[in-house]
Structure 1
Amino acid sequence: MPSRKIVATELAHVLRQISHPDRIRLLLKLQAGEQTVNELGDLLEISPTRVSQHLGVLRAVALVATQTRGQQRVYSLAQPELAHWLIEGIDFIGHRLSRATPTDLQNAKQLWQAEGAEPVI
C-alpha cells in the first residue's frame, strides 16, 4: 500500500536524524523545558557550535521548535512526548548492553524521567 510506504520512509528519515548520541541527549534535556544553545552545551559538555549543528538537524525534521526571547534563541521539543518515547526505548536495547545491568538501565530511565515531566502512560 502506498500510504504505508510513505509513512515508513518518513519514519526512517526521522530516525536517521535522531540517530546520534548527542542528539538523543539533547532531546532528553529539552524535556525539562526551554533551553538556549549555551545552556544545553554546558549541561551536556558539548561546544555551542556542535549543539547548534545538532539542533539544526533536529529542527529540519520538526522535532525541535525555536523562539526568540530578546537577543536569545530558546529551543524546546516540538512534541514533548518524543522524550518519553525515547526513554521507553531503553527497554528495547537492554539485551544489547552487556556492560549494563537491568539496574543500570532502570537508573538511566529514572534519571531522564526526573529531568522532565511525568511519563506519559
Structure 2
Amino acid sequence: MPTQTLNATTFFRTIWPLLALGFLIAIAPLGQTRAADPGWRPGWFVILGSLPETQAGLNQAHLLAGTVERNFPSEQLIVSETAFYRGLTPGLYVVMLGPYPSAAAAQRELTTSGLKELVPDAYVKQASERVLE
C-alpha cells in the first residue's frame, strides 16, 4: 500500500473542510438562545437601575420606579430582587421594564419612548425570570 504525503492541495481538499465543519458545529450553540429551563422564562429587559438590597436601596428603587411611571406609564414596570432573575447580578433590587420577546423590541422601547433621556444609564439585557406557580 503506497503512503501518501500530505501536501497543501490534499489538505485543502480533504482535511480543511472537516476541520471547518467541526469548528462550526462547536460554535453553533454560542449563537443560539439557551433552551428554556423548567421554572425559568427567558426574555429581554430594559434595566433602568440596580440598587443595593437594603432598605435604602429599596426606597431608591421605588423612587426611580415612581419617576418612570409618572413619565412613561407602563404595565411592564418591575421592581424586584435580582434573585428572581437568572442573568442579573445577585443581591440587588432592580427597576426594569419587560419582558420583551427580543433584544430589538427592548431596544426600540428604550430609544423611541424617551426613557433614555430620563434614565441615561438605562440599557437592554437578557435574563430569565423565575416562574412562580
TM-score for the superposition, normalised by structure 2: 0.33
- Higher relative contact order, structure no. (Cα contacts within 8 Å, ≥ 6 residues apart): 2
Could you say which structure has the higher helix fraction? 1
TM-score for the superposition, normalised by structure 1: 0.35
